[in-house]
Amino acid sequence: MKRQHTISATASVSGVGVHSGKPASLVVKPAGEGTGVMFVRSDITDRANEIPALATQVTTTELGTNMTNAAGVSVATVEHFLAACAGLGVDNIIAELDGPELPILDGSSKPFVELLERAGVVAQTAPKRVLRMLKSVEVKQGVKFARLSPADGFTMNVVIDFATTAIGRQAISFTMVPGAFAREVAWARTFGFAHQAEQLHAMGKGLGASMDNTVVIEGDRVLNPGGLQARDEFVRHKLLDVIGDLFLAGGPIEGLYEAEQPGHALNNQLLRAVFADESAFAWM
């Protein structure tokens, strides 16, 4: 029997929000069995400030996965942290934030993996709650699609396709087994395009983005002086986003995920489509 896990101690990390550009701090604390991942806005005291990490709480998916509770309290850019929780098997944790956005850190999940490892991942008594796919569910947006199907374990096949030769068409297949996320996925950084920076700034987005936390592409070139950590770092980061977004199911998934050019919106639509069909899944 696989058991639920939490952390054994409090730990924290600070940085800036990639979109707000403002200082952002995260404090993680142990949580009891069945809590799930619970975000808490410590700067909000006049109304409900807890936001459970569930697909049904997602309100916007532009440039990140963002959630809001019934009191209108929100938390933004949660996917990199949730991917770390999924990759390390952390089921129950309190994630306190002093503002509306998680710190971007280096643009990957690696600092969050290190945070959780520093806090110490420990087993609890209750059995782990796993969402098992019983039949295929698919959502489409033009040539883009995402699908969850029955399978043993949790395997993801992700394909991306960009016109720039800096990226091109890339594919990856990954199976979630202990240690694999930190080794193969967590370090892959988010990426963006230099020509979009002015437009994003005008929208109040990307104000904290820099080459310290984003792989920047101009035309067919990667501008970062250090270049890429791997030729396929781009698709590995898309896979990282998928892992974080799908953890909003409310627990790990047993099934096969396949996608062509996935994004946060498509991933959330897929989870909502799964939950809309009670014959498609079972909690085990």
Give CA–CA dist 270/264, Å, rounded: 10
Positions marked catalytic: 264
